Structure 1
Amino acid sequence: MTDAAEAAARPGDKPLPRLALLREMTDRTVLEQVFDQGRVTRAALAETTGISKPTISESVRRLESSGVLRASGSNETGRRGRVATYYTLAPDAGHVLAVEVNQHGVRTLSADLAGNPHGTARLTTPTAEGTEALADALRTAVAQALRDRADDGALRALAVSVANPVAPQTRTVIALPDSPFPENTLDPRTVLAELAPAPCLVDNDVNFAALAERRAGAAADTHSFLYAYIGAGLGLSLYVGDQLIRGAHGLAGEIGYLNTAGTNPPLSLSNALARQGFGRPGSPALDVGVVTEHLARAASGDTAARAAVDSLSNALGQALAAACTVVDPELVLLGGPLGGLPELLEPIRATVAGAAFVPVRIELGTVTDSPGLRGALLAAVEAGRAGVLASQPSR
């Protein structure tokens, strides 16, 4: 017997760090296979992973005894006397929750640790009522989601997507002038600390949308890309070398605040577009309905509407071209209620092609159903799985 094996076999002794690490790595590999395949046998795990059958069996035993895996029936293997037992994720192994908070209210989406969505709900709360009302709505929505998933085991992780930038150190919402989101600071982790005692990830919706595109969308094979959100607000998420760039204050990518040329005094991009007739009354936030109306009229041959759309596309394209010159991405994805419209794709492409220092591919994002919420769910699933592994006893 080796020294490591003898040490591990002595009653009362803790496993050597190296042995504990190997066990953790094996357990992680086994769980990843279960997450991907749903239902597996020990023999299939050994064949797929290349890990020895005895080591796989020990890992399955650990995960089963800790309540993460559960035997789910058996099937004949084709060999006389041999029966294969299938293992799946235990129904009560835990769940995760994603939450989206924006000017329309709060929406929740829950899922198991395999990432399978189980339920969604929306609570409409106008942000004009203030931060405290929004905090109350956040607590109410999360409490209801937890009650709905009470039979799924512990909440393993929570991710909150907000429609404003987030401070990198404190994870509080940063109040910005002229934002459609409330002008107060919201701290989701503090609001939910007692209600949901689990790791809580907080980020802005554009970053989470970009994560969704990176993991399950048009940027799946791309390491450096920009995700441009074009809607009531404007924002960029920047991935460079597969690293999200947040900036020192969490304000990287806030292109709505770029100064535009040719105005005196200088105007931000959002304010300039609002003055061109694309904004909401009394606000620099873009009016999505007004823009889509202009697009429809331009498509029907209205020359004035066509000129307005060209002006809008040019302003957006110039901002994206500047970002491309600085960041040099492989890909720019357009998303949001306006960015996802095919009618804006070609004119923005043309502007960027004429203004950017290097050629860049511009496409529409493919995660179009609440991408910020989808990205938050992906982040919560990843954190939840990590928590499960961290909670496994070493034995």
Structure 2
Amino acid sequence: MDVAKPSQELVRSLTDEHVLRALMRHRRMTRAELAAEIGISKPTAGESVRRLTERGLVADTGERTPGGRGRGRVGSYYALTPAAGVALAVTISPGGVVAECLDVFGDRVARAGRQIERPARPSQVSAALREAVEEAGKAAEQPVRLAVVGAADPVDRTTGRLVQLPDAPFLVGELDPVAILTPYAQGSVLVDNDVNWAATAERAARRLDDFAYLYLGEGLGCAIVNDGAIRRGRTGLAGEIAHLVTAGPGGRATRFIELFGELGLRRSGSTAIDVGRLLDSDRAERDVIGAAVAGVIAAVIALADPQEVVIGGSWGPVLLGEIEAATGRLPRRVPLRATGLTGDPVLSGVRAEALDRLRAEVTAAG
């Protein structure tokens, strides 16, 4: 049977893609270096560079290799142009809005931030989001191809809207980041929950395919990673653990979020957990909190069967000892550990996704 040969157009397209990705890895290369890196002939590499130059994606940097006097021909260095564009990496949290522009090399070329007052209202957050994104985009001085957003609120997976659930600790009302950011990005705007992005960063750092990421901070959340993928549920609200029934003071059944009200550990006028007061709580209160978290973990194990449970957030890792002691009494147990990530794991996850999408768009444009 005759095997169909790929068309010339397909071969050229694949070659251009390989050239673009090589330049993303090495920043600048000669045609001879591109040929050796990709495994193609020098004329083929030269033709690809010519096509990409005509499309405005690649340009001669003006730099030359040493040549002459027995050292061979002088080679020209080529690199991606600013037309490759940048990606917006955005986080929306009680700490404020942060907007970063990343280029195809993963370098941050611009950053802007805005504070948010509490309680956070949609109009205020919308204004802060627009201001931060506009400032970062202008500072980048390159086309913004797409945006990726991490938000400290439940996210409707179909629309990308932030959804207010009962006892939500951050945003009062609903917010539509897709509609807000679409005027600032040429392409797609992807929005997801902050805990999912933290779990994405955890998975990349540890190369885990099955685990639960339990976020314990001002708010409460959980991300389930199964077979290497985040499980978001039908509407995107999987992992919203605040209303799980667990053990409260004296072993009495209570909703997880209500436990902190009963212990006097909520911020004034809010359902947000007062992390400072929680960390100053006495041993008895910590044991109660550890038992409540263990009840949540029991439910996660029963439903998701994770390989391990990772504890993140501003107070979860600090109470790991109390949580481990309580989970030791469960009929089913899996290893627990505190996240090893430092800095801002949510922004790390958002950055990684934004960079992957930017590189994919640039190669597609090529």
Q: Same fold, TM exceeding 0.5?
A: yes
The change in CA–CA distance for 1:26 and 1:227 in structure 2 (over 3 A counts) is farther
One-letter code aligned to 2:156? A
Contact 2:178 2:189 in 1 (8 A): yes
Q: Structure 2 stretches of 5 or more lacking a match?
A: none
The change in CA–CA distance for 1:21 and 1:184 in structure 2 (over 3 A counts) is farther
* 2:222 maps to 1:222: no
- Structure 1 counterpart of 2:140: 149
State the shift of 1:287 in Å. 0.8
Deviates more, 1:372-381 or 1:37-46: 37-46
* 2:292 aligns with one of 307, 312, 315: 315
Q: Structure 1 stretches of 5 or more lacking a match?
A: 6-15, 295-304
The change in CA–CA distance for 1:163 and 1:87 in structure 2 (over 3 A counts) is same
- Structure 2 counterpart of 1:378: 352
How many Å separate the matches in 2 of 1:162 and 1:180? 13
- Structure 1 counterpart of 2:278: 291
- Structure 1 counterpart of 2:60: 71
State the shift of 1:187 in Å. 0.7
State the shift of 1:261 in Å. 4.0
- Structure 1 counterpart of 2:302: 325
* 2:362 aligns with one of 388, 392, 395: 388
One-letter code aligned to 1:139? R
- Structure 2 counterpart of 1:9: none
* 1:351 aligns with one of 301, 307, 326: 326
For normalisation by structure 2, the TM-score amounts to 0.88
- Structure 2 counterpart of 1:280: 267
How many Å separate the matches in 2 of 1:130 and 1:66? 44
Q: What is the aligned-residue RMSD (CA, Å)?
A: 2.8
State the shift of 1:308 in Å. 1.7
State the shift of 1:97 in Å. 1.2
How many Å separate the matches in 2 of 1:27 and 1:372? 33
State the shift of 1:250 in Å. 1.0
SS for the counterpart of 2:168 is coil
How many Å separate the matches in 1 of 2:190 and 2:303? 29
SS for the counterpart of 1:185 is coil
SS for the counterpart of 2:213 is strand
* 2:218 maps to 1:232: yes
How many Å separate the matches in 1 of 2:310 and 2:46? 45
Contact 2:150 2:350 in 1 (8 A): yes
Contact 1:353 1:360 in 2 (8 A): no
Deviates more, 1:195-204 or 1:165-174: 195-204
State the shift of 1:376 in Å. 1.7
- Structure 1 counterpart of 2:194: 205
Deviates more, 1:126-135 or 1:233-242: 126-135
SS for the counterpart of 1:161 is strand
* 2:149 aligns with one of 160, 177, 201: 160
State the shift of 1:322 in Å. 2.5
Count of residues paired in the alignment: 361
Deviates more, 1:21-30 or 1:188-197: 21-30
Q: Where do 1:1-395 residues align within 5 Å?
A: 18-72=7-61, 73-76=63-66, 80-128=71-119, 130-150=121-141, 153-215=142-204, 217=205, 219=206, 221-261=207-247, 267-294=254-281, 305-339=282-316, 341=317, 343-355=318-330, 357-366=332-341, 368-392=342-366
For normalisation by structure 1, the TM-score amounts to 0.82
How many Å separate the matches in 1 of 2:40 and 2:290? 55
The change in CA–CA distance for 1:23 and 1:127 in structure 2 (over 3 A counts) is farther
